[in-house]
């Protein structure tokens, strides 16, 4: 039994973006390297047309599972490397067919000769290999129109690669090629999925979470930390800013009419995220909002909340059905964390009858009696940062170095 020793990685949408191609490829190489941090023997070579991984003994199934989820990759193909002589190609091809779990009944060989110094033409090479397999791997027939398996033989200047099966990858754009955004991460189902969808379009995410101890528990916070860690695997790394929000919550509760507390709370949250956005040189805010789900997510509410910023607020879930969001959450493995039963700061201070159509003039009037600025400054000064890189949580000293 021979083990696959290479993986051919095909680029996704980046092929369309000729001008930025090098930046995209370089970013993707870094992202693949990060995703494979715990497979230290894998060697990555990012070429213009595709990426080649040399496994050096690492398990191909595990490596494929990992990199299929890296945004910017269209498909992955495990391959065998053969020496550049016909006998070696024939031997490896036969062995390839023999080690397949489901044996093909009909096959064909496709040879691509990129290295013209190879003395035999593509057609003839295919015929030679085909004949060798027919004789030695019975029962099997050649069928060029409707084969179960296309055995691909690529003759490159550096070596020959033999492959058969290709696995589709997730697509998207490499994280880090579309700038950076601040994700408002609650412990719910939606916001992690919103972050995921923006990462899929190449946006690098930093997370911001508002906590209100003692009204919110350590367990609620742990949920968010666990979600941030999950997302770090996709984002490459993850910075989570935990903002102490208790004093602000209490002030809103005391000073703002009950049916407007949610609106004001959201506006203050956005103001704080906006300050962090500037500090962290990000260019957008991402939320898990979804039109019509709850009082604060009506179009009127968004209009009134949005007044406090002119930074783009990206809401990738705006038109999704809840069931679609839940499916995505399961797919990215955040669902089980999100449904752990702990209160977040919003549910605790939730009024009985929040306004579904809050009005800008009214909220500005109510806010004019309260000076939130010193409270905002204090909250920002006391932010706690949690950072995940290389699939590990960083210690406090490392965090200080990073900022």
What residue 293 binds from ligand ATP, Mg ion, none (CB within 5 to 8 A, per partner kind)?
ligand ATP
Q: What residues have CB less than 8 Å from 287, skipping those under 6 apart?
A: 183, 184, 191, 194, 313, 314, 315
Write out the binding residues for ligand ATP, residues 82-141 only, by CB under 6 A.
Answer: none
Phi and psi at 372, nearest 5°, equal -80, -15
Q: Say how many C-beta atoms besides its own lie within 10 A of residue 199's C-beta.
A: 26
Q: Which of these ranges, 28-36, 57-65, 127-135, 204-212, lies near ligand ATP under the rule CB under 6 A?
A: 204-212
Measured from the CB atom, the residue of 154 and 190 that comes closer to ligand ATP is 190
Cα gap 265→40, rounded to integer Å: 46
Q: Which of these ranges, 149-157, 281-289, 301-309, 385-393, lies near ligand ATP under the rule CB under 6 A?
A: 281-289
Q: Which of these ranges, 110-118, 127-135, 207-215, 374-382, lies near ligand ATP under the rule CB under 6 A?
A: 207-215
Q: Least separation, in Å, of the C-beta of 194 and Mg ion? A: 11
Per rule CB under 5 A, is residue 297 in the interface with Mg ion? no
Whether the Cβ atoms of residue 72 and residue 111 lie closer than 8 Å to each other: no
Cα gap 328→193, rounded to integer Å: 7
Q: Which two tokens stand for residue 361?
A: 């003039």
What residue 295 binds from ligand ATP, Mg ion, none (CB within 5 to 8 A, per partner kind)?
none
What residue 209 binds from Mg ion, ligand ATP, none (CB within 5 to 8 A, per partner kind)?
ligand ATP
Per rule CB under 6 A, is residue 203 in the interface with ligand ATP? no
Would you give the DSSP letter of residue 295? Answer: G
Applying CB under 6 A, among 128, 206, 289, 367 the residue interacting with ligand ATP is: 289
Applying CB under 6 A, among 14, 53, 97, 184 the residue interacting with ligand ATP is: 184
Measured from the CB atom, the residue of 344 and 367 that comes closer to ligand ATP is 344
Cα gap 240→237, rounded to integer Å: 10
Question: What is the residue whose two structure tokens read 């919003």?
Answer: 346
Site string for Mg ion, 161-200 (x = CB under 5 A): -------------------------x-x------------
Q: Which two tokens stand for residue 116?
A: 């013209």
Whether the Cβ atoms of residue 252 and residue 351 lie closer than 8 Å to each other: no
Measured from the CB atom, the residue of 63 and 346 that comes closer to ligand ATP is 346
Question: SS3 for 182?
Answer: strand
What residue 288 binds from Mg ion, ligand ATP, none (CB within 5 to 8 A, per partner kind)?
ligand ATP
Write out the binding residues for ligand ATP, residues 210-269 only, by CB under 6 A.
Answer: 210
Q: Say how many C-beta atoms besides its own lie within 10 A of residue 252's C-beta.
A: 25
The full DSSP string for 105-161 is SEEEEEEEE--TTSSS-HHHHHHHHHHHHHHHS-S-EE-SSS-SEEEEEEE-SS-EE
Per rule CB under 5 A, is residue 296 in the interface with Mg ion? no
Residues forming contacts to Mg ion in the complex (CB under 5 A) are: 186, 188
Residues forming contacts to ligand ATP in the complex (CB under 6 A) are: 184-186, 188-191, 208-210, 287-289, 293-294, 296-297, 344-346
């Amino acid at each position: 039994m021979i083990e696959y020793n290479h993986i051919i990685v095909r680029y996704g949408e980046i092929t369309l973006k000729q001008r930025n191609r090098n930046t995209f490829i370089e970013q993707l190489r870094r992202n693949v390297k990060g995703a494979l941090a715990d497979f230290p023997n894998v060697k990555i070579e990012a070429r213009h047309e595709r990426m080649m991984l040399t496994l050096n003994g690492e398990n191909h199934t595990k490596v494929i599972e990992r990199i299929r989820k890296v945004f910017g990759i269209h498909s992955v193909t495990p391959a065998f490397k053969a020496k550049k002589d016909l006998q070696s190609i024939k031997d490896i091809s036969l062995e390839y067919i023999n080690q397949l779990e489901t044996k093909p009944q009909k096959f064909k060989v496709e040879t691509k000769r990129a290295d013209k110094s190879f003395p035999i033409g593509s057609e003839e090479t295919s015929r030679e290999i085909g004949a060798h397999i027919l004789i030695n791997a019975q029962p099997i027939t050649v069928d060029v129109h409707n084969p179960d398996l296309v055995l691909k033989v690529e003759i490159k200047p550096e070596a020959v690669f033999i492959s058969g099966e290709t696995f589709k990858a997730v697509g998207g754009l490499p994280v880090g090629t579309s700038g950076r955004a601040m994700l408002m991460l609650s412990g719910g189902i939606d916001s992690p999925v919103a972050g995921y969808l923006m990462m899929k379009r190449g946006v690098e995410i930093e997370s911001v979470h508002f906590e209100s101890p003692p009204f919110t528990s350590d367990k609620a916070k742990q949920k968010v930390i666990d979600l941030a860690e999950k997302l770090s695997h996709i984002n490459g790394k993850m910075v989570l800013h935990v903002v102490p929000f208790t004093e602000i919550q209490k002030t809103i509760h005391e000073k703002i009419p009950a049916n407007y507390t949610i609106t004001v709370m959201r506006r203050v949250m956005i103001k704080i995220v906006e300050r962090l956005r500037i500090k962290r040189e990000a260019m957008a805010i991402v939320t898990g909002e979804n039109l019509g789900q709850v009082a604060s997510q009506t179009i009127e509410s968004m209009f009134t909340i949005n007044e406090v910023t002119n930074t783009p607020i990206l809401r990738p879930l705006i038109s999704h059905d809840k069931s679609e969001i839940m499916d995505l959450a399961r797919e990215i493995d955040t669902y089980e964390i999100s449904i752990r039963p702990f209160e977040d700061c919003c549910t605790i201070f939730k009024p009985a009858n929040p306004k579904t159509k809050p009005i800008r003039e009214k909220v500005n009037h109510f806010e004019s009696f309260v000076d939130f600025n010193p409270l905002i400054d204090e909250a920002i000064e006391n932010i706690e940062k949690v950072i995940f890189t290389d699939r590990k949580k960083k210690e406090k000293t490392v965090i200080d170095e990073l900022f």
